[in-house]
Structure 1
Amino acid sequence: MANDVTKVGVPVTGFIGLAPFGTDIPSPSEGGVIGFTLPAAYKVPGLFTTDGAPEWAMEADGDPIEFFQEGFSIPSGLANVTISVTLAQTDPVVRELTRGKTYDANGYMTVDGGGTDVKYVAFTEIIFKNGAIERRVAPNVSIQSVTEQRNTRGEVRGTEVVFNVSRSEELDNDHFAEWNTLAVAAAG
């Protein structure tokens, strides 16, 4: 059947977890378990704003390699892959992840507005109304930008974080790995 509303992805909840670069990623079998629990090495920066759940963007970069024969080309192999989230919480975990450093005993840290060179492993999970679960892990991410949204009385001030996702040797030089429980159910 081509039209099937049970296959429509309506997000209900989810999270992003970040761990230090080099942290082990879940194996294909571990990540495919319905009741998978993220290892303790991953910090979860809490709530998202209503529209702030992980947004993955994959964009080819560079001109395709063209061949003499008209109509034939291959992608350049370059890509811009990002994860954008808008975090609702403003707490030490969020600040430490976005700043790449920790507060001192006085709750004080200096901030370099030019960013940080700290790398992370990112893990996202989205649960859909139809019961499907989509998980992704990217072993090599860094923060591209942090934007604190406008302070508006009576509204949540989100912190928009854009992560750059780089290729990983751990994934055969791909950017990320993905699990989809709906795909597992369809195959079984």
Structure 2
Amino acid sequence: MQESLDMGMNHQKIDIGTAYDAALLGRIAKVQGNARTVHNLVYSAVCVLLVVLGLQAGYETARGIILIASGCILLPLSNYSVRRKARDEAEELGGKRKLARYQFEDQKIIASIGQSREEIQYDQIHSLKEDDKGYYLFYGRTGAIYVSRQSLKNIGSENFKVLVEEWTGRKFKKPGSVLTFNIHDLISLFRK
């Protein structure tokens, strides 16, 4: 992976390569599932509401059972599209890696994978997450960009973070959600 920082007169450009494999796609899907977007929060609230209405109707009644079951079944499906996309892409890789090149510019990100090219405007990015290994930028319903901290040696991890926060108008946050909190997340709270 090669990166460069080109800072001219009011023009900044960062070129980064990321090699995606099945494990990385799975990690991204987990972080993305925890990046509770407004859509996911509304979806989760509807599921909880179904359970509450079911309990009010009475768990002995057919109506109550249907409402409770609907809420309990739909809640885990809130992140299904993200997990399914990651699984499908991992299967498509067949144990190999796929290299993506990202060119971060003042107004947009240009993503290139093979012959495919996509431009992502910074206002399309709805969530920024970071962990010990790297940075996650989420856009659209299931779009994700991952940049490892290791790939930022020449330009500096903090420099990259500051620039992306400036360009997007958002702040990087640690991933985590009460709805998907598990023992691994609890242990990571106590690690430095």
- Higher share of residues assigned helix: 2
- Higher share of residues assigned strand: 1
Higher Cα Rg, which structure: 2
The two structures have a TM-score, normalised by structure 2, of: 0.24
The two structures have a TM-score, normalised by structure 1, of: 0.24
